[in-house]
Amino acid sequence: MQTTTQLQKRINLEKRIVRKLVRDLLAAGYELAVTYDGAEFNPWSQDFKTVTSNLFACDEEWLLTRKHGASPERSFVCLVYGNDGWDVIADYGLSLEPVLAPINAWTDTLSLND
């Protein structure tokens, strides 16, 4: 069982990673939308505060992506909270690999002690 300190460290680590993910995707020209509970869907946005205000609502969320002004091709990032923190990015579409490669390298170096 996690202590309160361990729990808060994990939550803070997840937030650091997810916020960096959102910043990097937005910087790469993506519009983002958040979906959770299989039905809820928030509007597409390129605004960091709008996107992050819709995150951290439940245990599993999907960050949907599409290139702004480009083809309607979409992809996703699956976020799962509550595990070890560094592994909050549980899955993603392969088309996002170039943007996520640096984040994956960074998260490989993290632990709850960070």
Q: What is the mean pLDDT of residues 88-96?
A: 96
- Position 26 in a domain: yes
Q: What is the pTM of this model?
A: 0.89
Task: Report the distance separating Cα 59 and Cα 68, nearest Å.
Answer: 28
Question: What is the rounded distance in angstroms from the CA atom of residue 39 to the CA atom of residue 27?
Answer: 27
98-114 tens-digit pLDDT: 999 999 999 988 765 55
Does 112 fall in a domain? no
pLDDT in tens, 57-86: 889 999 999 987 766 789 999 999 999 999
Residue 45 included in any domain: yes
Mean pLDDT of 31-49: 86
How many structural domains compose the chain? 1
**For all residues of the chain together, what is the average pLDDT?**
89
Q: State the Cα–Cα distance between residues 23 and 18, nearest whole angstrom.
A: 9
Which residue range is the domain that position 51 belongs to?
4-107
113 inside domain: no
